[in-house]
Amino acid sequence: MSQTFDISRVRASYPALADGCAYLDGAAGTQVPVPVIDAIAAAYRRGIGNLGGAFAASKRSEAIEADCRQAVADLVGGVADGVIFGPSMTALTYRISSALARGWASGDEVVVSRLDHDANIRPWVQAAERAGAVVRWAEFDAATGELPAGQYADLVTPRTRLVAVTAASNAIGTRPDVAAIAAIARAVGALCYVDGVHATPHMPVDMAALGADFYATSAYKWAGPHLAVVVAAPALLETLRPDKLQPSPNDVPYRFERGTLPFADLAGVTAAVEHLAGFAGTGAGTRRERILASMAAVEEYEMALFERLLAGLAAMSHVTLHGKAARRAPTAFFSVAGLAPRAVAEHLSSRGVNVWNGNNYAYELCQVLGLHPAGAVRAGAVHYNDDSDIDRLLSGVAELAGAPGTLHR
């Protein structure tokens, strides 16, 4: 195992990179490395069965599932029995919000933020509407992209039942002071639901240190297959009664899972966690310790790429960068003068550079920034990007200086 971040080794494990594109679209989903592809294929090749059977293939699925709960717990600093699997963070957040809202009464309050992805806003707003609860909004500073934690002292009251906040904006990257916000929630007995979908691939995560009662993340953002998890303390989950089938297990966390889990994909998630644990460090210690060391190296590596990206874009007078928070995930959100974001993305695609355009479901954020409905261009670094990816993006954007105007749509 290497001591430092070895980008050539990392890139070699991603077959998709062989197409020569600069994949700067990781915030919408990363590529998948060989060990993850192999783990999924191996599960199918070996034979899996549904849970609870008397035969070996069923027991293999049980082992895959148990291993995966522990792997995810190690990734975020939770406990295995508090790991809930689901098809997506959006689906899980709807599930948890309806279970929580059963205990809300008219006049109770929930706090959401305009910095968040809509998946950590709308499920809470709709659940609050049904319960007759009041929704209070935390605002981010449009000039800086910061989400001041201090405002929560006013937003949170003795009637607050839940505070939903992101650990990192999937558009402008802002990393709010979640620990401070969660402490304000906790002081009145409110729960804190943290959207870790964008944060998890970019930094070491410790949900206890964040003060997260619930931590949500999607494996497809960190080298895994398309499924998601919410992690919480089993004792907290015991207090909730989600809708479930009569014969399905009622113990925690199973009562939150609907139908049969994708066992082969769970094998892939475990392999993805092992992958994240192996970028750097000595290889010694528990998996949790390896993850923390490895993700610290990832953060450092990605932030160096991000500085290069930001400096390059900031030097272009035809580019407007949105957000400049002090602590950010390595994700840039920008507009090019006179060009619709889609036109910029199409131009970059013609240069082999993959970026995203639109609101990226940061719907409230785009309204606040006056970017509705076309949004902006999003380019972000993940662990398999390198300097040449950034340079190709910068030269592609530089070509657009003085480009003939296409109306913003």
Ligand X SMILES: Cc1ncc(COP(=O)(O)O)c(C=O)c1O
Q: Is 90 in the site for ligand X (CB under 6 A)?
A: yes
* Shortest distance (Å) from residue 198 CB to ligand X: 4
Q: Which is nearer to ligand X, 74 or 195 (CB)?
A: 195
In the chain, helix, strand, coil percent, each to 5?
45, 15, 40
* Shortest distance (Å) from residue 272 CB to ligand X: 14
Site for ligand X in 99-138 (CB under 6 A): 117, 119-120
* Shortest distance (Å) from residue 357 CB to ligand X: 14
Site for ligand X in 185-214 (CB under 6 A): 195, 197-198
Element (H, E) at 295: helix 287-314
* Shortest distance (Å) from residue 167 CB to ligand X: 8
* Shortest distance (Å) from residue 117 CB to ligand X: 3
**210 vs 166: CA distance, rounded Å:** 11
Q: Which is nearer to ligand X, 108 or 195 (CB)?
A: 195
Q: Is 161 in the site for ligand X (CB under 6 A)?
A: no
Q: Is 229 in the site for ligand X (CB under 6 A)?
A: no
Q: Is 89 in the site for ligand X (CB under 6 A)?
A: yes
Residue partners of 259: CB distance under 8 A and separation at least 6: none
Q: Which is nearer to ligand X, 120 or 174 (CB)?
A: 120
Q: How many residues bind ligand X (CB under 6 A)?
A: 13
The torsion angle over the Cα atoms of residues 383, 74, 198 and 193, rounded to 10 degrees, is -170
- Kindly report the length of the chain: 409
Q: Is 71 in the site for ligand X (CB under 6 A)?
A: no
**Residue 25 in contact with residue 302, Cβ under 8 Å?**
no
Cross-strand bridge partners of residue 232: 214
**148 vs 312: CA distance, rounded Å:** 28
* Shortest distance (Å) from residue 362 CB to ligand X: 8
* Shortest distance (Å) from residue 297 CB to ligand X: 23
Element (H, E) at 194: strand 191-195
Rounded to 10°, the helix 56-76/287-314 angle is 60
**Residue 110 in contact with residue 135, Cβ under 8 Å?**
yes
Tell me whether the omega of the peptide bond preceding residue 373 falls within 30 degrees of 0, making it cis. Answer: yes
Choice from 13, 61, 218, 359 touching ligand X (CB under 6 A): 218
**Residue 382 in contact with residue 201, Cβ under 8 Å?**
yes
Binding window for ligand X (CB under 6 A); candidates: 59-67, 82-90, 172-180, 230-238 = 82-90
User: Which residues bind to ligand X, rule: CB under 6 A?
Assistant: 88-90, 117, 119-120, 166, 170, 195, 197-198, 218, 228
